[in-house]
Amino acid sequence: MSNERGFTLIEILVALAVFSLAAMALLRVQGETLSNSAALQNRAIGQIVARNLAVGTLTDPVAPALGISGGIEENAGRQWRWTRRTGLSGQAGLQRVEIAVSDDSGQEIAGLVLFRPML
C-alpha cells in the first residue's frame, strides 16, 4: 500500500469538464459584448448624423417644404440614409420636423423631433 497522494483520472476529467463549461460561458458573454458594442457604436453615429441634419434644418434661412424628403449622408466612412418628415405643429407659426436615420440594412437606428419657426 502506498501513501501517494494525487488526482485520479476521473477527478481530472471532471475538473476539465467544469473548466470547459466556464470557458464556454465566458466566450458567449464576450461575443454578446462585442455585438452590443457594435450596435451602440452604430446608434451613436446615427445620432450624430441626425443631429447634424437637425442643425442644418434649424439654421437654413428657408423653412423645409411640408412633406417627406430624404437622402444619403456620409459620416464615419459609411453612408447613412435619412428621412425628414415636415408637417405643421399644433401651434401657429411652427413646423414639426421628424428626422430618422437608417443604417445599411434599412433599420432605423436614430431619430429626433424638432420644432422650427416658419419664416
Are 44 and 65 in contact, with CB atoms under 8 Å apart?
no
**Among candidates 107, 49, 55, which has minimal Cα distance to 78?**
49
This prediction has a pTM of: 0.73
Interval 55-80: pLDDT, tens: 999 999 998 999 999 999 999 899 99
Give the single-character DSSP code of 28. Answer: H
User: What class does CATH assign to 9-117?
Assistant: alpha beta
Interval 37-52: pLDDT, tens: 988 999 999 999 999 9
**Among candidates 103, 107, 54, 58, which has minimal Cα distance to 76?**
103
